[in-house]
Structure 1
């Protein structure tokens, strides 16, 4: 198990390129199960979750190659079971449920794992698929699903679930008739999946809005497709410049998908500007605390909550962060306090009062985005910070220490 050792206090300066989106690539990889001919995906990030997904696809009967951020995938002989040994490490594994039901009429999928940031039940997925004609039972830690043929339905989600919307997009693409999804997730990664499916011959419209229409087709074919850039990695770099007092040029930044974050950064006193194919970001004077509430897209993303909290730790005055998506997503608070932060937590609200400086200390990551916040705080802190259990970080950030080193960070990986 590795850790990151950071000598903080160095302003970051230079160019940094955003990798492909993990949260877009994972459902798109699952959707490769639906294609009858080969798929070629570009801009796929080299991450642990991606490799786990490729192992799962291989078990399900889809052979793949992964080289230089390009995945080539081809279904050979589809099988209905996603075993616990793989699914337990990664939440997105449940996304094979829709494709398996659509193609085979049966699925045996282990209940998923992933970061321990709160309950993320799959009941919304199952209730929606039941409307399309599937039946389920839960036994021995597995979801057992079966159907004769999925049929289009009018489905209104109780909550705009990202995974549920993605599962239904895949299942409905090969269902009989039209499916309408209301209160659908509007995240850019959902739209990227829909765009990929359309490139494979699906008939989907309305992606990026709360109402999506899917007209089922008899089959899908392979295609060449480029995965969108990772907006959360881009957002993390947008925080890295002002928290260190530096200036970064961010390439391949999905700027239009970051409106809520950029609005709050500017409110804090950060200068952010899109300039052609790059985004320039720097601290513009003194930082001030703001109030943030996480919401489904296009609101402030829960995946950026921990990172903006790190920035507020070194801002003037106080601000509050209200977490409305995941109930356990404040586990990084105590670790930031170890670095000298002043944060008071009550229920699902954190009140952050800025301090003159953070001071390096050993800290432990509890989940993916918590890891990023601790790295950011370590870059700003005086002295040495050791971030332990960075296997969480490796699930979502491609070569982050190399990217940060290239813009001046004193950061290195070492065995714990």
Structure 2
């Protein structure tokens, strides 16, 4: 099991490039199920969740080619024959995005058998919103031995109001509705850039969609979709993580190949903390503005402050003068990084969904445990400013969603290296 060894104290200087968004790439790969033709996706990140999705699609009978390097992070997917429309538990147990194949499978083949999703244990992400929506569209769904089985001759358009804003639920039903009979209207939809990115691919495949990126989406079902080529959005969470890395280390870091308009809530908050920000067309430069100042955050659905940046921001708050309040509104179990930050010397208390961070607190090196994807990033950020050498265990969580994380950080001056145990990589 790999570990990171991080020695703190170096400001990050230079340019760091952002990869494609994992949370856009996964639904876009699932969307290839909807057509017999080839779908080509560019700017695919080289992360473990993408490899899991490749294995999942291949196990169903799809032809999937992943190319990196000269192939510009491109994947070719052809689902001409889906001989086994089952998302097997042994493949999807580490990834929540497995539920995203439910809608496209039943829309394309009339049957789907999907293992209940796995992934980071950060709180409830109920799949009942997917089930209720598909049932409203005419599917019959049963649960047996940890699997969901769905059947339908052909889905029918429906008017669905989501009880709660759900990104994967919006994406799953959006894909299903493209091949449904008649019109579907979805309200209280997620507005995240990942939803808009998926809709752009579906439209390129021949879907009729209006309103993606707003609270109401209309879909006019078609009988067939065709192949397409699509470039995945930059990863806004990776970009945000690097912006905080530059800020927390007092560096001068240019975060390149990103989409600044997707980072509005974070940029505003960093400016409140006293960080100097220069925004370009496809890059954001972050520079030290002196002492960091405390500022409160409340996680919200997009365009609010993203829950996927909460842990990283908390690391920054430990180095800010004053008291910061962090309220987590999306997931009820997303403070698992707090105890590890406390082990490093942070002054944090938790009451329900609220964490109170008192800074500025000198952090010290320690052996810490990564509990989920974003918590892992938070601990790396803390280690970058800690006194001494911090060892982070279970960094496989981080490998699920960040491409060559330690190599990118090392390229701008961080002292970070990967260490495999006797059974792992060297």
Normalising by structure 2, report the TM-score. 0.97
Between the aligned partners of 1:257 and 1:337, the Cα distance in structure 2 is: 31
| Rounded Cα–Cα distance in structure 2 between residues aligned with 1:299 and 1:277 | 21
SS in 2 for 1:248: strand
Could you say which residue in structure 1 is the equivalent of 2:17? Answer: 17
Match for residue 71 of structure 1 among 67, 75, 79 = 75
| Residues 88-127 of structure 1: pairs in structure 2 closer than 5 A | 88-127=93-132
2:136 counterpart of 1:146: no
Shift of 1:35: 1.9
Aligned to 1:40: 40
Partner of 2:53: 53
Alignment pair present for 1:325 and 2:330: yes
**Equivalent-residue separation in structure 1 for 2:85 and 2:77 (angstroms):** 18
Aligned to 1:369: 374
1:360 to 362, 365, 380: 365
Query: Is the Cα contact below 8 Å between 1:9 and 1:379 reproduced in 2?
Result: yes
Measure, in 2, the Cα distance between the counterparts of 1:149 and 1:31. Answer: 17
Contact 1:87 1:94 in 2 (8 A): no
1:289 shift after superposition: 1.1
Q: Which runs of 5+ in 1 are unaligned?
A: none
1:248-267 correspondence runs (5 A): 248-267=253-272
Counterparts of residues 362-401 of structure 1 (less than 5 Å): 362-401=367-406
Matching of residue 227 in structure 1 with residue 232 in structure 2: yes
| 2:138 paired with 1:133 | yes
How far is the alpha carbon of 1:278 from its aligned partner? 2.3
Q: Is the 8 A contact 2:35 2:80 kept in 1?
A: no
Partner of 2:174: 169
Residue of structure 2 in register with 1:159 after alignment: 164
Question: Normalising by the residue count of structure 1, what TM-score does the alignment of the two structures yield?
Answer: 0.99
The 1:31–1:276 alpha-carbon spacing in structure 2 relative to 1, beyond 3 Å, is: closer
Pair 1:272 & 2:277 matched: yes
- In 2, distance between residues paired with 1:103 and 1:207? 22
Deviation at 1:355, TM superposition (A): 2.8
Query: Within 2, Cα distance between the matches of 1:227 and 1:128?
Result: 26
Q: 1:350 aligns with which of 355, 376, 394?
A: 355
Q: Which runs of 4+ in 1 moved over 4 A?
A: none
1:30 maps to: 30
Partner SS for 1:50: helix
Structure 1 equivalent of residue 315 of structure 2: 310
Asked whether the equivalents of residues 43 and 231 of structure 2 are also in contact (C-alpha less than 8 Å), the reply is yes
Deviation at 1:276, TM superposition (A): 3.8
* Native 8 Å contact 1:102 1:171 kept in 2: yes
In structure 1, distance between residues paired with 2:216 and 2:26: 22
Q: 1:276 to 1:156 in 2, by over 3 A?
A: closer
Aligned to 1:297, what secondary structure does the other structure show? coil
CA distance in 2, matches of 1:8, 1:97: 44
Q: Distance in 1 between matches of 2:85 and 2:7?
A: 49
CA RMSD in angstroms, aligned pairs only: 0.8
Task: Name the CA distance, whole Å, in 1 between partners of 2:80 and 2:159.
Answer: 33
Q: 2: distance between equivalents of 1:190 and 1:71?
A: 20
How far, CA to CA, are the matches of 1:356 and 1:258 in structure 2? 27
Q: Distance in 2 between matches of 1:178 and 1:280?
A: 44
Q: Which runs of 5+ in 2 are unaligned?
A: 422-426
Equivalence map 1:139-218=2 (5 Å): 139-218=144-223
Q: Give the match for residue 3 of structure 1.
A: 3
C-alpha distance in structure 2 between counterparts of 1:276 and 1:348, whole Å: 36
**Residues 369 and 392 of structure 2 are in contact (CA less than 8 Å); yes or no, is this contact kept in structure 1?**
yes
Whether 1:287 and 2:292 are equivalent positions in the alignment is: yes
* Change over 3 Å in CA distance of 1:275–1:104 after alignment to 2: closer
In the alignment, does 2:302 pair up with 1:297?
yes
